[in-house]
Amino acid sequence: MTASLNHTEYQRARLTRDARFDGLFFIAVKTTGIFCRPVCPVVPPLEDNVEYFAHAALAAQAGYRPCLRCRPDSAPGSCAWRGTDTTFTRALALLDAGELTTSDLPTLAARLGIGDRYLRRLFQERLGMSPKAYALFTQVMFAKKLLHETSLSVTDIADAAGFNSLRRFNDAFRKQLQLSPSAIRRSRKATPELRLSLAYRPPLNWSLMLDFWRKRCVRGIEWVNGERYGRTFVMRNSAGEQARGYFEVCPADGDHQLQLTVSIDKPVFLKPLVTRVRQILDLDADIQQIEQQLGAAGFHTVLTPGLRIPGIWHPFEAGVRAILGQQVSVAAARTHLERLVDALAEPLNDTHKLFPTPSAIAASDLAMLKMPASRRETLRRFADWYHQQGEEKPVTDWLALKGIGPWTVDYVQMRALGHTDIWLASDLGVKKALAQLTEGTAFDSAALKPWRSYATFHLWHYLG
């Protein structure tokens, strides 16, 4: 069981099928050998026949197979069981993105700055399984999702899930889930685009997120059409391979789901792509818990229900946006970005472009940007540094670059890296909103931890 819920809360949540608990725990039924999500529509089993697990992988490890009706592979993720250990959280994010499909455990541990023995111990203590076992389970569950929802061939699905052979895929599928891929596969009409469901725990203020993006969309890179948000992307893995494409997200027919439509040139990147899309949409946040804490800390008058943090696709792009947005309005920053994209972006197709690369920006005189020369120099300096060494360096290293200060670094950590506890105390908008909220009295942000990034966005929206 998770530490955040007691037995009575588990029981109440499963009997009421409360979607706010979807993904926070899983229900295993001893008499059937099946594990489900709290929202499963089947007749609830007797309490004596139920076991609760904090993660689907733990239920599978205990010998239960996933329900084919509620599909645990489609549940939103949960951060509750991760704790506050930054290293563990980073390791999970890399494994979820398929890091072990292109590298090994010692390489992953070195990237995290720890030894592989300590990494194994960390996973055993926190999750009760090894990093490799966790990674294999996520691969198999993603493959199961593709079998349910797409018309990809089983061979392509095995490739997309990170398996280097069909035989290994079939063997892992049976061992992990006690099912065969053929038991999942349904006949589907082939389509040029992939469509997948993205579940979330309510509330989600989708219209608010769309409004935020609509004001900041860069022509050719992003778009908001009706209820749809879309953008182009480039993805790279640790082996140096690259994938390109675009995606769109809109509300789905099912409750508490979005629909993701993807066009990608290499299906092997599908798993990290879906992980990244969930991150920039902030779909795995437990908004109910966050809003309860912010409200208790005195923010109840500024809370906008369902507000989530809209992410930026890549840290480099976020850095460029932050530099070009310094001391100008949102509209002016957008104009600068569109001029940069028009001049330096590589086309993806007849309609869409890819965000300019660090090398393209570093090699340009940036004359298209009508701004102080010092800011153009900051952008060129940043792009050149990123091109030379920035991909693997922490964002905090940017502070050594002339023209980049703490606000820029914090902004990027909040919007591109998904840090939940960034407090932009020096931000003018935050200061103005706080002055209205507290009527000029001193404010201690400690009570808002670890959700100060959300508090920042609530203050911006309140001011706007």
Q: What is the DSSP string of 164-219?
A: S-HHHHHHHHHHHHS--HHHH-------SSEEEEEE-PSP--HHHHHHHHHTTPPT
Q: 110-145: per-residue pLDDT in tens?
A: 888 899 999 999 999 888 889 999 999 999 999 999
Question: pTM to 2 decimals?
Answer: 0.88
Does domain 7-74 fall into CATH 3.40.10.10? yes
Q: What is the number of residues in the chain?
A: 464
Statement: residue 102 has pLDDT above 70: yes
Calpha distance 118→88 (Å, rounded): 11
Residues 263-283 have a mean pLDDT of 93
Catalytic one of 18, 116, 211, 427: 427
The total of other beta-carbon atoms located within 10 Å of residue 46's CB is 9
What's the CATH class of domain 312-410? mainly alpha
Residues 75-95 have a mean pLDDT of 73
The residue ranges of every structural domain in the chain are 7-74, 83-184, 194-284, 285-310+418-464, 312-410
Calpha distance 294→80 (Å, rounded): 17
Does domain 83-184 fall into CATH 2.60.120.260? no
Helix (H) or strand (E) segment spanning residue 373: helix 373-389
Q: 294-336: per-residue pLDDT in tens?
A: 999 989 899 999 999 999 999 999 999 999 998 899 999 999 9
In the residue annotation, 217 being an active-site residue is answered as no
Which fold is adopted by the domain 285-310+418-464?
A: Endonuclease Iii, domain 2 (1.10.1670)
Statement: residue 3 has pLDDT above 50: no
83-184 matches 7-74 in CATH topology? no
CA distances from 277 to 162, 261, 287, 416 (A): 18, 11, 18, 11
Q: Which CATH superfamily is domain 194-284 in?
A: DNA-3-methyladenine glycosylase AlkA, N-terminal domain (3.30.310.20)
In the residue annotation, 36 being an active-site residue is answered as yes
Q: 198-232: per-residue pLDDT in tens?
A: 999 999 999 999 999 999 999 999 999 999 999 99
Q: 392-429: per-residue pLDDT in tens?
A: 788 999 999 999 999 999 999 999 999 999 999 889 88
